[in-house]
Amino acid sequence: MNKYIFLLLILIPCVLLAESDGEAGFKMLTIDTGASNSALAGAGAYLPGDAFAFMINPSATLFHRGRTVSAAQNFWIFETSLTSLGYAYSNGKQAFGLGFRQLDYGKFTFRDDTGENIGEFHPLDLVLTTNFGYRVTPDHYLGMNLSILYEKIHNASTLGTAFDLGYTYLPPLKNLKIGAALKNFGFTTKMNNEKINLPLTGEMYLSHDYSLGITDLNSRIKVFKINDDKQVKAGIGLNARFYEKFTLRVGYRFNYDAQDFSAGIGINFKRFQLDYAYLPFDYEINDVHMIGLSYRL
DSSP state of 69: E
Integer angstrom CA distances of residue 261 from 35, 42, 128, 203, 255: 14, 12, 30, 20, 12
Domain interval for residue 74: 2-296
Asked whether residue 120 carries a pLDDT value surpassing 70, the answer given is no
**Comparing 4-18, 58-72, 208-222, 276-290, which segment has the lowest mean pLDDT?**
4-18
H/E element, 273: strand 272-279
In whole angstroms, what is the distance from residue 111 CA to residue 264 CA?
41
Q: What is the CATH number of the domain that holds 190?
A: 2.40.160.60
Number of domain units in the chain: 1
Q: What is the pLDDT of residues 180-226, one digit of tens each?
A: 999 998 988 887 777 788 888 889 999 999 888 778 889 999 998 88
Asked whether residue 92 carries a pLDDT value surpassing 70, the answer given is yes
Region 119-143: mean pLDDT is: 88
Q: Is 190 helix (H, G, I), strand (E, B) or coil?
A: coil
pTM of the model: 0.88
Closest CA to 44 of 246, 236, 274, 199: 236
Q: What is the pLDDT of residues 232-276, one digit of tens each?
A: 899 999 999 998 889 999 999 999 988 899 999 999 988 999 999
Mean pLDDT of the chain: 86
Q: What is the pLDDT of residues 32-54, one digit of tens each?
A: 888 999 999 999 889 878 899 99
